[in-house]
Amino acid sequence: MLLISLIGEQPIPNLLPARYLKAENNLLVATKNEKSYAAARRLSGLIQGCEIVQLKEEYIVPDIVRELSLAVGDRKDVTVNLTGGTKPMALAAFELAVARKYSCVYYRTEGKPPAPQISSLYFYGINSAGELELERTQPLSRDAIKLKEYIEAHFGSFTHGEFSSEDGGMLEREVANALKPYVDELFVGVIPLEMKGQLEADIIIRCENQVAIFEVKTGGEGSGKKAVDQLTTFAARELMGTYTQRFIVTQFSRNPKHGWFKPVAGALGVSVVELNDYYPGKPLSKRDVQTLVTKIANKLPIRRGLGESI
């Protein structure tokens, strides 16, 4: 089978369907946009049997149809993933699928925590009248992607494994230790190699197919707008995609001036977790662990219920 994937800036809607379908050949269709082509190159390292086609035309649908037709040739065992790319690309791919009666798929994540989040593929066929028909919906495995693959899909090569050497390193370690029983994977000190010296994430976790990034601060001025800026830069839509949750974990401060950043954080989709009992060099208290895990459970499908191992 040949799978056609339309590549935009978000890699996950192409990576997860490709992993499920396991096509022998994959045609990654990118635009002239540098970010689209870079995303296709990163995906080609994570998906077997890839060929990248960079479109000469991005907006004129008939021209895109012709380019896709030439790239596919006379193959009949073709499936089109309509999820990614630009709207003209999707229209062109759909027109080609209807003309040649190719099957189509569409990727969607449904459900809002604390309810289960389910990533599904919608399978469509073209009937004898040339109409699109939904054939079935297939939930994907809740372990369909590993954290390493998720990060590589967005950044390429990276390093991880070191806590901060500054005062905050102790708190990072205790937060990581508290999180481990509730998550599927956890990396600390994540540094994309192409952006070394510019970007670093204190902690990144995976719960099923959902990912979150953490900035951990010990309180004071560094826990305010600066922490929000650091987090939203690393987890920007253009870098980490639209599916990544964002958290700031900070030691509680009694200084009211240190809480002014919370409305800004909330407006930017950043959840703030304050640890009331933390003391440097000590494990998090049971109350602080419950506060931390409860906040995460509002955004991600944690592994265990709050009544277990707290």
pLDDT tens-digit profile of 70-122?
999 999 999 999 998 999 999 999 999 999 999 999 998 776 655 556 789 99
Q: Break the chain into its structural domains and give their ranges.
A: 2-139, 147-297
Q: Is the dihedral of CA 220, 222, 225, 231 positive or negative?
A: negative
Position 237 confidence tier, pLDDT thresholds 50, 70, 90? confident
- Give me the pLDDT at residue 243, please: 72
Helices (H) and strands (E) in the chain, counts: 10, 13
CATH class of residue range 2-139: alpha beta
Is a pLDDT exceeding 90 seen at residue 64? yes
At residue 50, φ and ψ (nearest 5 deg) are -95, 145
- Quick one: average pLDDT of 244-253? 84
- Give me the pLDDT at residue 282, please: 85
- Mean pLDDT is lowest, of 11-25, 85-99, 231-245, for 231-245
* 158-166 contacts, C-beta under 8 A, 24 or more apart: 158/190, 158/191, 158/192, 158/193, 159/189, 159/190, 159/191, 159/193, 160/187, 160/188, 160/189, 160/190, 160/191, 160/204, 161/187, 161/188, 161/189, 162/188, 162/189, 163/188, 163/189, 164/189, 164/202
Go through the chain and tell me how many residues it has.
Answer: 310
Cα separation, 131 vs 6, whole angstroms: 21
Cα separation, 8 vs 5, whole angstroms: 10
Q: What type of residue is 63?
A: D
243-281 CB burial, b ≥16 within 10 A, e <16 = bbbbbbbbbebeeeebbebeeebeeeebbbbbbeebeee
pLDDT tens-digit profile of 106-163?
998 776 655 556 789 999 999 888 888 999 999 988 788 899 999 999 999 999 988 8
Q: Is the dihedral of CA 30, 120, 65, 91 positive or negative?
A: negative
| 147-297 shares the fold of 2-139 | no
- Give me the pLDDT at residue 218, please: 81
- Mean pLDDT is lowest, of 95-104, 171-180, 203-212, 263-272, for 263-272
Q: What type of residue is 103?
A: S
- The Cα-based distances of 194 to 23, 34, 46, 159, 198 in angstroms read 30, 15, 18, 11, 9
The pTM for the full model equals 0.84
CATH class of residue range 147-297: alpha beta
